[in-house]
Amino acid sequence: MSAQPEPTIHRSLLIIGGAEDKMGRATVLRRFVRLAGGERARMVVIPSASAFADEAAEVYADVFARLGADRTVTVDIQSRAEADRTDAGCGAAAIDEATGVFMTGGNQLKLAQLIGGTEVGRAIHRAYERGAVIAGTSAGASIMSRFMISMGDEGITPRQRSSQLTAGLDLLPDVIVDQHFAQRTRYGRLLSLVAGSPALLGMGVDEDTAAEITDGRVLTVIGDGGVFIADARRAVTDAYEAAEDAPLLVSGAVVHTLPAGSTFDLQTATLMSFSEMHPDVDMRRSEREHPDGSAPVV
C-alpha cells in the first residue's frame, strides 16, 4: 500500500484594482471564492481600511455567499493592541482558520498602521504560506507590497516626489502595487517610483481587474481591464537629482499592458502566454492549473 503523495501547496495572492463587479458576473470575486475552496471556503474579511467598515464587511459576506461561500467572519481591527491579541476568538485566530482572507478598500496607510508587524499581520503571512488565498482590493491591494504606495498624484508624466512609499504587509517583496490604475491615471507615479527604485517592478491594476499571483512569481490577469507592469531595471533616469515636482527622465523602461488571459513571469519580467479566450474559459483553464491536490489546506 503506497502512501498518498503530499499535496503541493501553492501560495496565492489576488490583487484587485478596486471597483470590482459585485452584482453581475462578478468574475474577479468568483475567482476569489473558487481559489478559497468554493463551498468549503472559510472566509475572513478585514474591512479596517474602510471608513464604513461594518457596511463593507456585510457587502462582501453577502457577495461571497451568493457565489457559494457562506462562512465569512469579519475581523475588524481598529487598534494595534487589538491586532496583537492572541486569545481564543481574536482576529489572528480567525485568520488561522481561514482558506481565504479579503482586505477591503479604504485607506491603505490606516490599514498598514493598524496591522503591520502585529499578530494579525503575522497570521496573514501564515495563512499565505499554508495556501490560503490572500485577496485585497484597492487599499487592500496596495498593502500587499513590501514597499507600499501610501499616497501620490495623478498624471502620466513621472514627476519627482509625486508619491510616497511606506512599509506594507510584505507579501510581495519585489513589486510595488498600484490600483485604480487607468481610472486614476497613475502611470506617472508608478514610473517615478520604479525610476527611484529600479530593483522593484511596478504593477498597476485597473478597476474590476485582478492580478492573481501564484508562488510569488506567476501573474495571471483576470477581469475587464488590464494589468500594467513597469520594469526600469535597464532605464536611465535622473531620479537621484531632479528637483521636486520636475518631470523625471526615465529612458528605456520596459512596459507591459496585460489583458485578461495573459500570464507573466514576475521574476524574469517576461510574458509567458496569452490567450484570447473568453474570461470564463480562461478561469476554467486556470483551475486546471490548480488541481484539487493543490487546493488551499488549513
The whole-angstrom separation of Cα 242 and Cα 110 is: 30
User: In this complex, which beta carbon is closest to a second copy, that of residue 90 or of residue 229?
Assistant: 229
191 part of the interface to a second copy, by CB under 8 A: yes
**Residue 297 contacts residue 41 (beta carbons within 8 Å):** no
User: In this complex, which beta carbon is closest to a second copy, that of residue 87 or of residue 276?
Assistant: 276
189 part of the interface to a second copy, by CB under 8 A: no
Measured CA distances, 11 to 133, 135, 184, 286 (Å): 7, 12, 30, 14
Residue among 103, 133, 253, 266 that touches a second copy (CB under 8 A): 253
258 part of the interface to a second copy, by CB under 8 A: yes
The whole-angstrom separation of Cα 276 and Cα 263 is: 12
DSSP 44-105: EEE-TTSTTHHHHHHHHHHHHHHTT---EEE----SHHHHT--STTSHHHHHHH-SEEEE-S
Which residues have a Cβ under 8 Å from the Cβ of 273 and sit 6 or more positions away?
262, 263
Neighbours of 257 (CB within 10 A): 15
264 part of the interface to a second copy, by CB under 8 A: yes
Residue among 58, 113, 174, 274 that touches a second copy (CB under 8 A): 274
17 part of the interface to a second copy, by CB under 8 A: no
Quick one: which segment of 30-38, 73-81, 93-101, 257-265 binds a second copy (CB under 8 A)? 257-265
Q: Which residues are catalytic?
A: 138, 180, 207
Quick one: which segment of 37-45, 66-74, 120-128, 262-270 binds a second copy (CB under 8 A)? 262-270
Pick out residues in 66-125 that bind a second copy (CB under 8 A): none
Binding residues for a second copy, rule CB under 8 A, total 42
Closest CA to 104 of 205, 20, 209, 203: 20
Residues within the interface to a second copy (CB under 8 A): 155-158, 181-182, 185-188, 191, 204, 206, 224-226, 228, 236, 238, 241-242, 246-260, 262, 264, 270-271, 274, 276
